[in-house]
């Protein structure tokens, strides 16, 4: 019987628990979470902010799940240090009733492990700005962030969102639905510059603007103004925008602090091999904190995305229980919809000299594929996103597309067009 | 588990399966009455027309389902006993992650009501209605082990 400690109870942590328990009912599993909610659907907090779903609908795995799987779930327990020499995690209780009681807080908790899984996730990056610490500046990552924002929403009429990535736009969307004036301030020339190409980004941007979200591109905030509470933000052209809420959505950074004193190799995220193992053999990493091999970029990269976190968690869990399963690698892939306009973007969306790009646009329907040699390495779809998973299959399996290249942009391009080229698919046709 | 398989040689592309599916998933459950339903019922099965042939397609209820991992709302799960992929409409937020990862293109967005359209094997009725609706028996409802025998 082993003792397994998992830091993080979100997508990767939960998937690991499920994979371990499929094979191993005996080992003791302890899951630590620095949040005060049962495992929840992090990506759905924007719908919670928008008022589209209630808090109870966010639950991903309830406390019963952990009980049924004989897992000791420690909420409000923040891991602060990993000691690989002693095989020990040091943590502290950060629950509300302990927060004021310094003595209780400083009483450190210790968790010994035989195997450790680091599924610590990521945290919002706050820009180094004058006034960033003021009341009313929020990250947008957790249920607690959302609840804090909602408390301010009733007293606010305008919100400024710093950053036009997915998180920024989702926050803007949620706040708009709550009836606020929303301004998104973006340094890049267009929204979603880290997610999709210019043409598709412009379609999304147009749709957001048409629905009352103001987007200022090529601008940065230089200062957040106000005494205590926020009164306004000052832009780099000295223009001042009055607002009461600021959302910092300048990307996220992997939570690697707890291993900073160890020898575990960290690049942007925690480096893992194809078995999801870190540079220390009994320590694994998975999810938003892990840096895995990107199959389209052909190099290690942090692709902090829910589906990857689940897959990586599943593989770590299986390997922790004795399997030797290889992770097939990650890639950037996003699906999002704003005001009835869906967007799917995967792999390499901006072509370089090595690539050939084919695209087609009619009204709000846009389709683009990026080809490298005889392989598909990226695709973007706006409007009609049917069959987008077929492109993902072509990218992931590195399928030679030379025979079907002329059909890729067809409206009805689908599985039937690629079935002769694929292997390892479920039987469909008799 | 019993799954739906398609015989491309037999399929005429008449879309009777699509109609049977839409009727069976409509509120009215009858073709004549379904037409006046407020939210139009969409077929979970669709025929892809490619290379002069007709390829019906619906959820494969995969052994290793990509949609289950991808569902960030926890709305899609696999019933380990039956092998069927289950979908909880109440949890779905219409993010289309499942559409993005389905290698078969077997899940489509219902853009109006913001939920994906996917085959539930007509569990409530007991038998997939596309199978009954096909006039040329191009849709087979069988265990995978039986499929080859049936073809002969």
User: Which of A69, A38, A79 shows the shortest CA–CA distance to A55?
Assistant: A38
- A129 in a structural domain: no
Residue with the bigger pLDDT between A26 and A104: it is: A26
> B90: which chain A residues are within 8 Å (Cβ-Cβ)?
57
Nearest to B101 among A337, A392, A422 (CB): A392
- Residues near B24 by Cβ (< 8 Å), separated by ≥ 6? B122, B125, B129
What average pLDDT does this structure show over A267-294?
Answer: 98
What average pLDDT does this structure show over A180-195?
Answer: 97
The Cβ of residue A18 has, within 10 Å, a number of other Cβ atoms equal to 17
With an 8 Å Cβ cutoff, are B72 and A41 in contact? yes
Clarify whether residues A369 and A265 are in a common domain: no
With an 8 Å Cβ cutoff, are A389 and B147 in contact? no
- A326 in a structural domain: no
- The percentage of residues in chain A with a pLDDT greater than 90, rounded to a whole number, is 92
Element (H, E) at B98: helix B97-101
Element (H, E) at A246: strand A245-248
Residue A423's pLDDT is 80
Clarify whether residues A26 and A116 are in a common domain: yes
- A132 in a structural domain: no
Residue A102's pLDDT is 62
Task: Decide: A33 and A73 in contact? Cβ < 8 Å.
Answer: yes
The Cβ of residue A292 has, within 10 Å, a number of other Cβ atoms equal to 27
Clarify whether residues A295 and A350 are in a common domain: no
Element (H, E) at A65: helix A63-68
pLDDT in tens, B71-113: 999 999 999 999 999 999 999 999 999 999 999 999 999 988 8
What average pLDDT does this structure show over A399-424?
Answer: 92
Domain count, chain A: 3
Residue A104's pLDDT is 62
Clarify whether residues A118 and A262 are in a common domain: yes
What average pLDDT does this structure show over A26-39?
Answer: 96
Residue B136's pLDDT is 96
What average pLDDT does this structure show over A305-312?
Answer: 98
Chain-centroid distance, C-alpha B47: 11
What average pLDDT does this structure show over A86-105?
Answer: 78
- What is the rounded CA–CA span in Å between residue A81 and residue A92? 10
- A146 in a structural domain: yes
Residue A183's pLDDT is 98
Partners of B108 in the beta sheet?
Answer: B117
Kindly identify which residue of chain B lies nearest to residue A410, measuring between CA atoms: B50
pLDDT in tens, A245-268: 999 999 999 999 999 999 999 999
Clarify whether residues A12 and A71 are in a common domain: yes
With an 8 Å Cβ cutoff, are B57 and A344 in contact? no
CATH number for position A413: 3.30.390.30
Clarify whether residues A262 and A237 are in a common domain: no
Residue A274 corresponds to which tokens in the numbers above? 């194809």
What average pLDDT does this structure show over A32-60?
Answer: 95
Per-residue pLDDT at A68 exceeds 60: yes
Residue B37's pLDDT is 84
Per-residue pLDDT at A107 exceeds 80: no
What average pLDDT does this structure show over A270-275?
Answer: 98
Task: Decide: A158 and A143 in contact? Cβ < 8 Å.
Answer: no
Task: Decide: A382 and A203 in contact? Cβ < 8 Å.
Answer: yes
Kindly identify which residue of chain A lies nearest to residue B4, measuring between CA atoms: A428
Partners of A347 in the beta sheet?
Answer: A378
Clarify whether residues A144 and A77 are in a common domain: no
> A386: which chain B residues are within 8 Å (Cβ-Cβ)?
99, 105, 108-109
User: Which of A160, A170, A172, A179 shows the shortest CA–CA distance to A226?
Assistant: A160
With an 8 Å Cβ cutoff, are B109 and A386 in contact? yes
Per-residue pLDDT at A19 exceeds 60: yes
- What is the rounded CA–CA span in Å between residue A342 and residue A327? 29
Clarify whether residues A22 and A77 are in a common domain: yes
What average pLDDT does this structure show over A34-39?
Answer: 94
Task: Decide: A244 and A229 in contact? Cβ < 8 Å.
Answer: yes
- What is the rounded CA–CA span in Å between residue A61 and residue A20? 16
**At which of A267, A287, A320 does a domain end?**
A320
With an 8 Å Cβ cutoff, are B106 and A415 in contact? yes
User: pLDDT confidence of A129, banded at 50, 70, 90?
Assistant: very high
Count of CB pairs separated by less than 8 Å, A with B: 139
Which of helix, strand or coil describes residue A276?
coil
Per-residue pLDDT at A8 exceeds 90: yes
Residue A204 corresponds to which tokens in the numbers above? 């999304």
User: pLDDT confidence of A78, banded at 50, 70, 90?
Assistant: very high
Which of helix, strand or coil describes residue A205?
helix
Task: Find tokens 């987008």 and name the residue.
Answer: A388
**Torsion angle of the four alpha carbons A61, B100, B18, B90, in this order, in degrees rounded to the nearest 10:** 30
Nearest to A311 among B5, B69, B100 (CB): B69
Per-residue pLDDT at A99 exceeds 60: no
- A363 in a structural domain: yes
Clarify whether residues A78 and A7 are in a common domain: yes
Task: Find tokens 């002693």 and name the residue.
Answer: A86
In this structure, the strands spanning A181-185 and A158-162 are parallel
Clarify whether residues A103 and A7 are in a common domain: yes
Domain that holds residue A104: 3-123+252-320
Residue with the bigger pLDDT between A234 and B146: it is: A234
Q: What is the DSSP letter of B74?
A: S
> B111: which chain A residues are within 8 Å (Cβ-Cβ)?
340, 342
- A333 in a structural domain: no
The Cβ of residue A1 has, within 10 Å, a number of other Cβ atoms equal to 7
Residue B145's pLDDT is 83
Clarify whether residues A271 and A315 are in a common domain: yes
Residue B53 corresponds to which tokens in the numbers above? 């042939």
What average pLDDT does this structure show over A403-423?
Answer: 92
Clarify whether residues A257 and A405 are in a common domain: no
C-alpha dist (Å) from residue A195 to A12, A267, A305, B69:
22, 21, 12, 21
User: pLDDT confidence of A344, banded at 50, 70, 90?
Assistant: very high
User: Is the pTM value of this prediction over 0.90?
Assistant: yes
Per-residue buried b or exposed e for A235-258, using 16+ beta carbons within 10 Å of the residue's own CB: beeeeebebbbbbbbbbbbbbbeb
Q: What is the DSSP letter of A384?
A: -
With an 8 Å Cβ cutoff, are A417 and B51 in contact? yes
**Torsion angle of the four alpha carbons A52, A9, B99, B4, in this order, in degrees rounded to the nearest 10:** -120
- A331 in a structural domain: no
- Local mean pLDDT, 10-residue blocks, chain B (152 residues): 93 96 92 85 91 92 95 96 93 96 96 92 93 96 84 58
Domains by residue range for chain B, with CATH? 2-58+119-151 (3.30.70.20)
C-alpha dist (Å) from residue A67 to A38, A304, A341, B98:
12, 28, 41, 29
Mean pLDDT (chain A) is 95
**At which of A320, A352, A371 does a domain end?**
A320
Residue A133 corresponds to which tokens in the numbers above? 């610490």
Nearest to B100 among A52, A333, A430 (CB): A333
- What is the rounded CA–CA span in Å between residue A53 and residue B92? 10
Residue A348 corresponds to which tokens in the numbers above? 């390499």
CATH number for position A237: 3.50.50.60
- A430 in a structural domain: no
**At which of A199, A229, A248 does a domain end?**
A248
Residue A211's pLDDT is 97
Residue A98's pLDDT is 57
Per-residue pLDDT at A363 exceeds 70: yes
Residue with the bigger pLDDT between A30 and B1: it is: A30
Q: How far is A309 from chain B (nearest CA, A)?
A: 9
């Amino acid at each position: 019987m082993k003792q397994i400690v998992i830091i993080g109870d979100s997508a990767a942590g939960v998937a690991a628990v499920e994979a371990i328990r499929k094979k191993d009912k005996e080992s003791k599993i302890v899951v630590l979470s620095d949040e005060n909610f049962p495992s929840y659907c992090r990506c759905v907090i924007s719908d919670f902010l928008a008022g589209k779903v209630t808090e109870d609908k966010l639950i991903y795995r309830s406390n019963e799940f952990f009980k049924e799987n004989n897992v000791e779930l420690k909420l409000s327990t923040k891991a602060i240090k990993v000691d690989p020499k002693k095989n020990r995690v040091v943590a502290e209780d950060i629950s509300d009733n302990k927060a004021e009681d310094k003595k209780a807080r400083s009483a450190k908790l210790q968790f010994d492990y035989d195997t450790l899984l680091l599924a610590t996730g990521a945290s919002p990056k706050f820009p180094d700005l004058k006034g960033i610490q003021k009341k009313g500046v929020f990250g947008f990552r957790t249920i607690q962030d959302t609840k804090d924002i909602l408390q301010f929403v009733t007293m606010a009429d305008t919100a400024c969102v710093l950053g036009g990535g997915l998180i920024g736009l989702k926050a803007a969307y949620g706040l708009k639905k709550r009836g606020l004036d929303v301004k998104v301030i973006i340094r890049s020339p267009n929204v979603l510059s880290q997610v999709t190409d210019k043409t598709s980004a412009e379609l999304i941007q147009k749709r957001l603007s048409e629905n009352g979200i103001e987007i200022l591109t090529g601008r940065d905030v230089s200062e957040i103004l106000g005494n205590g509470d926020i009164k306004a933000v000052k832009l780099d052209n000295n223009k001042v925008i009055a607002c009461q809420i600021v959302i910092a959505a300048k990307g996220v950074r992997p939570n690697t602090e707890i291993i900073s004193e160890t020898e575990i190799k960290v690049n942007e995220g925690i480096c893992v091999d194809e078995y999801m193992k870190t540079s220390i053999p009994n320590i694994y990493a998975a999810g938003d904190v892990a840096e895995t091999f990107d199959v389209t970029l052909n190099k290690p990269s942090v692709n902090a995305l829910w589906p990857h976190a689940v897959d990586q968690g599943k593989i770590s869990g299986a390997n922790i229980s004795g399997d030797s399963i290889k992770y097939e690698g990650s890639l950037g892939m996003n699906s999002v919809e704003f005001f009835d306009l869906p967007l799917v973007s995967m792999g390499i969306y901006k072509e370089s000299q090595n690539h050939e790009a084919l695209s087609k646009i009619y009204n709000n329907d846009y389709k683009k594929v990026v080809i490298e040699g005889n392989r598909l390495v990226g695709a973007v779809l706006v409007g009609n996103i049917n069959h987008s998973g077929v492109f993902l299959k072509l990218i992931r399996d590195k399928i030679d597309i030379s025979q079907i290249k002329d059909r890729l942009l067809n409206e009805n391009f689908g599985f039937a067009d690629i079935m002769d080229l694929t292997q390892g698919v479920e039987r469909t046709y008799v | 588990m019993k799954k739906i398989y398609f015989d491309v040689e037999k399929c005429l592309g008449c879309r009777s399966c699509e109609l049977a599916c839409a009727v069976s998933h409509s509120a009215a459950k009858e073709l004549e009455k379904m037409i006046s339903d407020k939210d139009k019922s969409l077929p979970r099965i669709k025929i892809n027309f490619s290379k002069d042939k007709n390829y019906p397609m619906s959820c494969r209820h995969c052994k290793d389902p990509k949609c289950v991992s991808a569902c960030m709302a926890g709305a899609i799960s696999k019933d380990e006993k039956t092998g069927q992929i289950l979908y909880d409409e109440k949890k779905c937020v219409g993010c289309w992650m499942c559409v993005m990862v389905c290698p078969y293109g077997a899940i489509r967005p219902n853009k109006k009501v913001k939920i994906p359209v996917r085959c539930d094997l007509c569990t409530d009725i007991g038998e997939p209605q596309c199978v009954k609706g096909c006039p040329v028996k191009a849709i087979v409802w069988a265990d995978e082990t039986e499929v080859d025998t049936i073809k002969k």
